[in-house]
Amino acid sequence: MNGGILHPESLVLGASGTVGFGVVGALLEAGSPVLALGRDGPRMQALAEHFSEEPALSLMTSGCIQDDQDAAALVATLRKRKRPLRAVFASLGSRPESGRLLDRPSRSLSDKLQRDLIPHLAAARHLLPLLAESNETAHYILIGGPHAERGWAGYGHASVSASALRMLAQVLHEEALALGVRVQMLSVDHPISTPANACNACAEWPSALAVGRCAVSLLSCHEAPKPIVSYNAARAQPPLSTLFSDYPPARAHG
């Protein structure tokens, strides 16, 4: 809230993950109130400590969204907050496990889709109608990884699930038009550079904050929305203005 104005929040699903952390930072940097949802644990605690001086950040710890019941419970909680929702950023998924498709039972692929695809569908089914109640253009942005268009050698299960998520984003984009919600996927074509992999990272690998900035830039894009938007370093620069004209800029986060 600033000057008595209750600005709409942006919800970050998977805020305790690497990309989720970057999206939270980019939203605060752009002047958006943030509700960060993630598993309770060391990573969520680190998020809270890193942004401890940000009054615009609210944290919500919860188990993973796995099905419609979990997503419906989340929406019920959001309604009790009585805070308008401007956007949802979904960075959900399990760690990739190595192994050939031909060497593992078919159940392994079914389990991977259950962990990485179904939670996205469940979340979208319940959050899109909530976003549709907004008086302004609302956004639902999924974050996709680098192996959706070409198979990742030795990680076939992750490639199939990433490709399925890409198609899900395209279908949701079309179906959500009638609701007045813009559904888009930010496709990140390289791994994320982190302190843990810095010694092996290539120069073109983006940081989590850069990915977050690129995702947040979609909120103020005036072009006709495309279902799939590729990561672009030019759109990953610090914002020149905040999302709300009367909102003071947040501290920059590296």
**Residue 247 binned pLDDT confidence (cut-offs 50, 70, 90):** very low
DSSP the chain: -BTTB-PPEEEEETTTSHHHHHHHHHHHHTT--EEEEE-SSHHHHHHHHHTTT-TTEEEEE-PPP-SHHHHHHHHHHHHHHT--EEEEEE---PPP--B-GGGS-HHHHHHHHHHHTHHHHHHHHHHHHHHTT-SS-EEEEEEE-TTSSS--TTBHHHHHHHHHHHHHHHHHHHHHGGGTEEEEEEE--SPPB-TTTTTT--TTPPBHHHHHHHHHHGGG--SPPPSEEE--GGG-SPPSS-SSTTSPPPPP--
Computed on alpha carbons and rounded to an integer, the radius of gyration of the chain in Å comes to 18
What pLDDT shows up at residue 114?
95
DSSP-assigned beta bridge partners for residue 60 = 37
What pLDDT shows up at residue 67?
94
17-76 pLDDT, tens digit per residue, is 999 999 999 999 999 999 999 999 999 999 999 999 999 999 999 877 999 999 999 999
Q: Does position 251 have pLDDT exceeding 50, yes or no?
A: no
What pLDDT shows up at residue 169?
97
Tokens 């976003």, located at residue = 131
What pLDDT shows up at residue 254?
47
The answer to whether 23 touches 11, Cβ cutoff 8 Å, is: no
194 vs 10, more confident:
10
Both tokens assigned to 193: 């550079």
What pLDDT shows up at residue 4?
55
7 — phi, psi (to 5°)?
Answer: -75, 145
DSSP-assigned beta bridge partners for residue 140 = 88, 183
Count how many Cα atoms sit within 13 Å of the Cα of residue 121 in the half-sphere of its side chain: 14
For residue 8, give the nearest of 83, 109, 96 by alpha carbon. Answer: 83
The answer to whether 29 touches 242, Cβ cutoff 8 Å, is: no
The answer to whether 212 touches 27, Cβ cutoff 8 Å, is: yes
For residue 23, give the nearest of 238, 212, 233 by alpha carbon. Answer: 212
d(Cα 234, Cα 240) in Å, to the nearest integer? 13
